């Protein structure tokens, strides 16, 4: 099902050119070049402290790059604030669940759809009359399987339900490029399988960039994998090639890949 997709010739949805980032003296990202084509599902793996989350924060505008450039559909994101980048069609989720605890599940999703649907800062329209927003939110609820928890306060959901809501909020805005930061972290085997199906379902036709530790999730979802070690991408290739790549094995997996890291 995930046969290695040939490299399409159209412009990259997301491109990083010689990106470097240092906090004070220590350099975290030491020159990353990455090109992710439209519709591709790309996974970024690497040992703890390799700089994966920092990379996500650079792309989503939480931190500014020290040097180099990040392009979204060809447009440079330099100096843009997170909400400006989001409006250009890039949405991200968080490793630590980051939802609106005192609002209901339905309202969490609806908040994410309001800006893209053009309601922006309006204080003259009543939420109950916004047919498209309510419909869209119910669709997403159906998609992430939280229909029966519609009016429960988000803070009262179970951990897995909150992770699903996290993904729901990320995709609700209809962004073309989706960044997922360890979506299945802390989940049981059955819950993470459910999450993988969910991610597959919601990212149809979209560009996905995912940070993940669970190798089974990575190999069942990713079209291509980049391996980040100490702030540098040591390999970017289709899953089989990565599995066999000596440098990756030695630098990251330690044991030979054959036994698999279940």
Q: Measured from the CB atom, is 72 or 222 closer to other proteins? A: 72
Beta-carbon contacts of 189 under 8 Å, excluding residues fewer than 6 positions away, are none
* Cβ closest to other proteins, residue 168 vs residue 239: 168
Phi, psi at 41, each rounded to 5°: -105, 110
Strand partners, 21: 29
Q: How far is the CB of 61 from other proteins (least distance, A)?
A: 8
Cα separation, 186 vs 220, in Å, equals: 18
* CA 153 to chain CA centroid, nearest Å: 24
Distance of CA 106 to the CA centre of its chain: 21
Q: How far is the CB of 214 from other proteins (least distance, A)?
A: 24
Could you please report the per-residue DSSP string of 153-212?
A: BGGGS-HHHHHHHHHHHHHHT--SEEEEESTTTT--HHHHHHHHHHHHHHTTTSEEEEE-
What's the CA gap between 25 and 27, in Å, rounded? Answer: 6
Any bridge partners for residue 60, and if so which? none
Name the minimum Å distance from CB 99 to other proteins: 7
List the alpha helices (DSSP H) in 63-188: 82-87, 105-114, 131-144, 159-172
- Residues at the site binding other proteins, with contacts judged by CB under 8 A: 60, 81-83, 86-87, 91-92, 94, 98-104, 107, 110-112, 114-116, 119-128, 130, 151-153, 156, 169, 172-173
Distance of CA 99 to the CA centre of its chain: 15
Min CB(245)–other proteins separation in Å: 34
Nearer to other proteins, 60 or 236 (CB): 60
Which one, 20 or 87, has the nearer CB to other proteins?
A: 87
Cα three-residue angle 72-202-235, rounded to 5 degrees:
50
Shortest distance, position 102 Cβ to other proteins, whole Å:
5
Given the complex with other proteins, which of 62 and 200 has the nearer CB atom? 62
Structure tokens, 157: 């959901």
Shortest Å distance, C-beta 113 to other proteins? 9
Structure tokens at 113: 């759809």
Whole-number minimum distance, CB 30 to other proteins, in Å? 26
Let me know: does 8 contact 37? Beta carbons within 8 Å: yes
Nearer to other proteins, 78 or 127 (CB): 127
The CB-of-6 to other proteins minimum distance in angstroms stands at: 33
Nearer to other proteins, 120 or 262 (CB): 120
Choice between 98 and 194, CB closer to other proteins: 98
């Amino acid at each position: 099902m995930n046969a290695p997709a040939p490299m399409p010739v159209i412009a990259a949805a997301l491109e990083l050119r010689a990106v470097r980032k240092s906090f004070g003296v220590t350099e975290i990202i030491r020159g990353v070049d990455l090109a992710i084509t439209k519709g591709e599902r790309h996974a970024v793996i690497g040992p703890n402290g390799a700089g994966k989350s920092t990379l996500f924060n650079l792309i989503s505008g939480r931190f500014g790059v020290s040097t180099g450039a990040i392009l979204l559909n060809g447009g440079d994101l330099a100096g843009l604030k997170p909400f400006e980048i989001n409006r250009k069609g890039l949405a991200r989720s968080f490793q630590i669940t980051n939802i609106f605890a005192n609002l209901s599940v339905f309202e969490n999703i609806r908040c994410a759809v309001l800006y893209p649907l053009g309601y922006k800062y309006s204080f003259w329209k009543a939420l109950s009359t916004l047919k498209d927003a309510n419909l869209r939110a119910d669709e997403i609820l159906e998609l992430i399987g939280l229909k029966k928890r519609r009016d429960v306060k988000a803070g009262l959901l179970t951990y897995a339900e909150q992770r699903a809501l996290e993904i729901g909020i990320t995709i609700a805005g209809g962004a073309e490029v989706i960044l997922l930061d360890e979506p299945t972290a802390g989940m049981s085997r059955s819950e993470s399988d459910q999450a993988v199906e969910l991610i597959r379902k919601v990212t149809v036709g979209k560009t996905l960039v995912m940070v993940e530790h669970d190798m089974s999730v990575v190999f069942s979802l990713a079209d291509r994998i980049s391996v980040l070690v100490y702030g540098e991408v040591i390999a970017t290739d289709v899953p089989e090639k990565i599995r066999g790549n000596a440098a990756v094995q030695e630098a990251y997996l330690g044991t030979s890949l054959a036994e698999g890291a279940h």
